[in-house]
Amino acid sequence: MRIKANGEMAWPGGSVTLSSVQSSKMHFDRAELYNNQMVFAWGDSRSGNGDIYAQNLLSNGNLGPAAAPGSISGTLSFVNGTSDVTLASISAGGSAVNPDTDGQYTLILEEGTYTVVVEHPYTETIEIENVDVVSGETTQLDLQLEVVRTDLTVYAINQDGEPLSPVTISIEGPEGVYNGTIEADFVTFVNVPYGSYAGTASFDIHTVDDEVYINMDNQEMTFVFPFTGLSTLLEHSHTLVSPNPISSESILTIHSSEITECQLIISDSRGSFIATPKNWSLQSGRNIIKVTELTEGKLLAPGIYVLNIIIHNEVTRLKLVVAL
């Protein structure tokens, strides 16, 4: 007999007869439940000899061999980013598997219709209903998950791109505030959602702010501490980029107190040049330069950039924002 968790009998009639032949039976044994069936074996004298007989008993109370299982098989991939595919869980009918490093998976199931649930700590969860499994056959089901989270790596550098530490940081994002300290070259906050982040970093007596949009194209935030050259340059000239966030119409305005030469460099948040540095002749007074001239006509990907303006070996920096 089989009893449910509530104490009720699971099978009609309560019990199942494994053998109705009138004979002596001895040395009764059984195998553990496997593939939805148990196998019972015993010694039997029905033929006059001590033969061994066996009988399959299915979990539903029926006798006979279980039908061959079917399977659901396919490949799991990502859109809108990437992550460790082996962290995914694919489940149906009480069974669950993790894909291999290539995203391949196989679920072994009894014949039936299932809802397949696919979960991953860095993606949206999806459910695929009415997936049919046929005994002895494989149902092909390729899966795709949308990445909505990532690991955020935070750096702090000086005006020359050299890492700073220790730097205390506090960053606010879609799910709250992240606090930490850069003890070496960086600090990483794991499993944060895509979205806008704004924060403050403190090094010694200096404090700087930064903001960034985290998505599949950018998982980094860099605080730049410009320790030298700012005061003198601000006395020498006044600079402005407008509009900012920048567009194809954005212009750089430099008010210079004299005729002089300057170098204009756009770099990303890690200090890598986006385009070839430009040497520019400034007139005394107001100078207007289109930002697209500095990017060689290229459209910049969404993110935070730094416009470096070098005059008389002194540097000032303007933050450029490229919105989505």
- At the fourth CATH level, which superfamily is domain 70-146? Carboxypeptidase-like, regulatory domain (2.60.40.1120)
Segment 169-198 shows an average pLDDT of 95
**What's the pLDDT score for residue 185?**
87
User: Could you say which architecture CATH assigns to the domain 149-225?
Assistant: Sandwich (2.60)
User: Could you say which architecture CATH assigns to the domain 230-322?
Assistant: Sandwich (2.60)
Q: Chain-wide mean pLDDT for the chain?
A: 87
In the chain, residues under CATH classification 2.60.40.2550 are 230-322
Written in H, E and C, the secondary structure of the chain is: CCECCCCCECCCCCCCCCCCCCCCEEEEEECCCECCEEEEEEEECCCCCCEEEEEEEECCCCECCCCCCEEEEEEEEEECCCCCHHHCEEEECCEEECCCCCCEEEEEECCEEEEEEEECCCECCEEEEEEEECCCCEEECCEEEEECEEEEEEEEEECCCCECCCEEEEEEECCEEEEEEECCCEEEEEEEECEEEEEEEEECCEEEEEEEEEECCECEEEEEECCCCHHHHHHHEEEEEECCCCCCCCEEEEEECCCEEEEEEEEECCCCECCCCEEEEECCEEEEEEHHHHCCCCCCCCEEEEEEEEECCEEEEEEEEECC
pLDDT, one tens digit per residue, over 72-120 is: 999 999 999 999 999 999 999 999 999 999 999 999 998 899 999 999 9
In the chain, residues under CATH classification 2.60.40.1120 are 70-146, 149-225
